[in-house]
Amino acid sequence: MQKTILIVHGMRKGKLNELLEDFIYALFDETQIDYDVAFLESEARSLETVVATTVRQGYRVVNLVPLLLFTASHYYEDIADQVQMWKTQYAQVHFLLAEPLGTHPAMADWVSHQMARYAHEIDDATGVVILAHGNARFNEPDIALTYLAQQQTSEQLQCYPSMVYGKLNFQETLPPLAAKYQKLLIVPFFFYDGYLVNKTKRQIEELNLPVEITYTTAINFDPVLKNIILARIAACEEAHHVSDTVELV
């Protein structure tokens, strides 16, 4: 039997986890996927608890799909390191860890659509910034976001990466852009317009940059996420099929 566990960051307290869970259930209500939801931050539905329950239920193939945008500390330390432990603890179970969601080509399409939606805000004096979470200890988010920005750059429009944390910190990257452009269009590359996005907007305002700043909406659980998650699940299933074939040979 095969089960997919969708891994969400979540919060240890409050109602956010319930809202996230309701959204995921609504998203996959019409699919035939056998799945469960686990949280990195939860007092009741932690990833470790959900994995243990899944194994007890007799599943022998477990697809782990992190609902994260990039690989960084949560991906490597909270999930990948645990997977290695589970492979030893549950030797009878085949665990497959999917890639994060933000590096899928469809996310580049989402950014393009956001820019198109706000095309009335863009002219020759506008710089476009993709703003993401970032990480001070891992450079993979910087590399992925820089590539994403390069994909949106053309002869007519320059797109720049910026982060809340890490080397591309907005406090370092935005002032030079404010000196170059009269306007900035900032695309929040976050799952939803929540606490961190609003906090970062306030911090950017406190920089008193001499430019007009417009923000697009964040991803806000756009339906594109469903297609990306399904693609990540399919990749896990394909990897399992290939490994089975190799073992049989």
CATH code for the part of the protein at 119-215: 3.40.50.1400
Q: How confident is the model at residue 14 (pLDDT cuts 50, 70, 90)?
A: low
Query: What dihedral do alpha carbons 97, 101, 105, 109 form, nearest 10°?
Result: 170
Helix (H) or strand (E) holding 35: strand 35-39
Rounded distance, CA 29 to CA 39, Å? 19
Rounded Cα–Cα distance for residues 130 and 168 (Å): 11
| Cα 193 from Cα 176, distance rounded (Å) | 26
Residue 160's DSSP bridge partners are: 129
- Would you say residue 176 has pLDDT above 50? yes
Question: What is the distance between the alpha carbons of residues 104 and 100, in angstroms, rounded to a whole number?
Answer: 8
Span between the terminal Cα atoms of the chain, in Å: 22
| 122's tokens | 């863009």
Burial of 122 (0-12, 13-18, 19+ CB in 10 A): middle
H helices of 185-223, in order, are 195-206
Predicted local distance difference test score (pLDDT) of residue 243: 64
Say if residue 100 is exposed, middle or buried (CB neighbours under 10 Å; 0-12, 13-18, 19+): buried
Residue 172 vs residue 1, higher pLDDT: 172
Mean pLDDT computed over 152-177: 97
Q: pLDDT at residue 173 above 90?
A: yes
Q: 18: part of which helix (H) or strand (E)?
A: helix 16-27
C-alpha 47/C-alpha 82 separation (Å) is 9
Q: What is the pLDDT of residues 83-139, one digit of tens each?
A: 999 999 999 999 999 999 999 999 999 999 999 999 999 999 999 999 999 999 999
Q: pTM for this one?
A: 0.93
Q: Do 2-101+222-248 and 119-215 agree at the fold level? A: yes
Helices 224-248/105-117 angle, 10° precision: 170
| Domain 2-101+222-248 bears CATH identifier 3.40.50.620 | no
| Pairwise CA distance, residues 129 & 168, whole Å | 11
Rounded Cα distance, 20 and 55, in Å: 24
Q: In the prediction, which pLDDT does 248 show?
A: 30
Confidence at residue 247, expressed as pLDDT on a 0 to 100 scale: 37
pLDDT band at 249 (very low <50, low <70, confident <90, very high): very low
Q: In the structure, how many helices (H) and strands (E) does the chain have? A: 9, 8
Backbone angles phi, psi at 42, to 5 degrees: -165, 145
Instruction: For residue 5, give the nearest of 79, 109, 89 by alpha carbon.
Output: 79
Note whether 223 and 23 are within 8 A (CB): no
pLDDT value at residue 234: 95
Write down the domain spans for the chain: 2-101+222-248, 119-215
**Could you give the CA distance from residue 130 to residue 149 in angstroms, rounded to a whole number?**
7
